[in-house]
């Protein structure tokens, strides 16, 4: 009898120790999982913060649709590095970001926020061409200013917005540094100007004649040729599609996502603003 009770007691002790060890093991595993999750969350937050600081980009996760926000601010930096005190948008950052957005099937739309003084003509036009050729639904919004090469960037999206207080400067192509006074230089400027005019008129409702008229206006700017227009005038001229703010841009982007064509379809996507509207 005593041996039986002692045997049962030993079995109970072994069982109790096993249970305690399992509890401790589970507790350690849970703590490790929490630490790992916290570490992953911290790393994810740091990655997002670094993305915003370096490239002015952010991805909105907890939203009706997964959209990507891309900012084009300051001066467009092209083939030459600008001074460190300049706030710049580097085209070598924006271009691969656009490629990644277009390939990522989880990203449903792209909102582009512009506040730029212009900059490198070819770099800005290259970025604008990439945006215009995307199948991903895109909406742009001009806040502050969309000057110079910022004009093609503003109209490159499938639908463009501008806030009432924003302005846009339309002027001919300019070049810094040594310029040779030969006919070839004038021909180069004319061809570059035609490239910009053609892009803007293809991606907005303004005519080429009216755009050139605004560009060559001599009574608006003190030290230059061109025109400065505010948000309401930009819409009236047909340069920008709509007058509105951030909520209007997001709502329009959601509409394009929900009613637009399949971005992965084989058919050709039209970028003509009159057809999109």
> Are residue 75 and residue 181 in the same domain, yes or no?
yes
Radius of gyration of the chain (CA): 28
Say how far apart CA 143 and CA 73 lie, in whole Å.
10
The pLDDT of residue 13:
62
Half-sphere exposure (Cβ direction) of 169: Cα atoms closer than 13 Å: 20
For residue 27, the model assigns a pLDDT of 65
Whether residue 264 sits in one domain with residue 161 = yes
Residues 152 and 186 in one domain: yes
Average pLDDT estimate for 73-96: 91
Residue 224 has pLDDT above 90, yes or no: no
Regarding whether 71 and 40 lie in a shared domain, the answer is no
Strand 67-77 relative to strand 57-60, pairing: antiparallel
Q: Confirm whether 27 is a catalytic residue.
A: no
Domain span at residue 98? 56-276
Domain of residue 240, CATH code: 3.90.226.10
Asked if 224 and 174 sit in the same domain, the reply is: yes
Same domain flag for 16 and 122: no
Last-in-domain residue among 38, 55, 72: 55
pLDDT digits (tens, 9 = 90+) for 94-107: 999 999 999 998 99
The residue ranking higher by pLDDT, 31 or 200, is 200
Do 105 and 203 have their domain in common?
yes
Residues 29 and 96 in one domain: no
Which candidate in 68, 147, 159, 171 is catalytic? 171
With bands split at pLDDT 50, 70 and 90, how would you rate the model's confidence at 44? Answer: low
- Choosing from 148, 154, 160, 204, the catalytic residue is 148
Instruction: Tell me: do 90 and 151 sit in the same domain.
Output: yes
Is residue 171 part of the annotated active site? The answer reads yes
* 253 and 260 Cβ atoms separated by less than 8 Å: no
At residue 238, does pLDDT exceed 90?
yes
Q: What is the pLDDT of residue 101?
A: 94
| Residue 121, both tokens | 């003509």
Q: Looking at the structure, tell me whether residues 27 and 141 fall in a common domain.
A: no
My answer on whether 32 and 67 are in the same domain is no
Number of separate domains in the chain: 2
**Same domain, yes or no: 46 and 141:** no
Distance CA 77, CA 91 (A): 6
* Residue 268 pLDDT grade (very low, low, confident, very high; cuts 50, 70, 90): very low
Q: What is the DSSP code string of the chain?
A: -HHHHHHHHHHHHHHHHHHHHHHHHHHHHHHHHHHHHHHHHHHHHHHHHHHHHHH-EEEE-SSSS-EEEEEEEEEEE-SSPPPTTS-EEEHHHHHHHHHHHHH-TT--EEEEEEEEEEE-HHHHHHHHHHHHT--S-EEEEEEEEE-TTHHHHHHSSSEEEE-TT-EEEE------S----SHHHHHHHHHHHHHHHHHHHHTSS--HHHHHHHHT-SSS-SSSSSEEEEHHHHHHTTSSSEE--HHHHHHHHHHHHHHS--TT-SSPPP--HHHH-
Mind listing the pLDDT tens digit for each residue in 246-259? 999 999 999 999 98
Q: How confident is the prediction for the chain on average, in pLDDT?
A: 82
CA pair distance 45, 48, nearest whole angstrom:
5
Tell me what pLDDT residue 232 has.
Answer: 97
Give the global pTM.
0.75
């Amino acid at each position: 009898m005593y041996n039986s009770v002692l045997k049962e007691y030993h079995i109970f002790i072994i069982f109790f120790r096993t249970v305690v060890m399992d509890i401790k093991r589970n507790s350690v595993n849970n703590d490790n999982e929490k630490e790992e999750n916290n570490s992953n969350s911290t790393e994810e937050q740091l990655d997002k913060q670094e993305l915003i600081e370096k490239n002015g980009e952010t991805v909105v996760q907890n939203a009706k649709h997964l959209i990507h926000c891309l900012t084009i601010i300051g001066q467009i930096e092209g083939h030459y590095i600008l001074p460190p005190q300049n706030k710049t948008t580097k085209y070598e950052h924006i271009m691969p970001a656009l490629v990644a957005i277009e390939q990522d099937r989880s990203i449903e739309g792209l909102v582009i926020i512009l506040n730029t003084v212009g900059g490198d003509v070819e770099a800005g036009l290259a970025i604008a061409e990439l945006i215009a050729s995307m199948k991903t639904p895109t909406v742009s919004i001009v806040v502050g200013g969309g000057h110079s090469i910022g004009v093609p960037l503003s109209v490159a999206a499938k639908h463009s917005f501008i806030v009432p207080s924003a302005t846009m400067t339309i002027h001919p192509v300019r070049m810094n540094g040594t310029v040779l006074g030969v006919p070839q230089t004038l021909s180069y400027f004319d061809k570059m100007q035609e490239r910009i005019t053609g892009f803007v008129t293809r991606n907005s409702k303004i005519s080429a004649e009216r755009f050139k008229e605004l560009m060559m206006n001599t009574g608006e700017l003190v030290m230059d040729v061109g025109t400065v227009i505010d948000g309401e005038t930009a819409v009236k001229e047909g340069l920008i599609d709509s007058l509105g703010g951030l909520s209007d841009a997001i709502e329009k982007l959601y509409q394009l996502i929900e009613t637009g064509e399949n971005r992965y379809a084989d058919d050709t996507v039209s970028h003509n603003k009159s057809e999109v509207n």
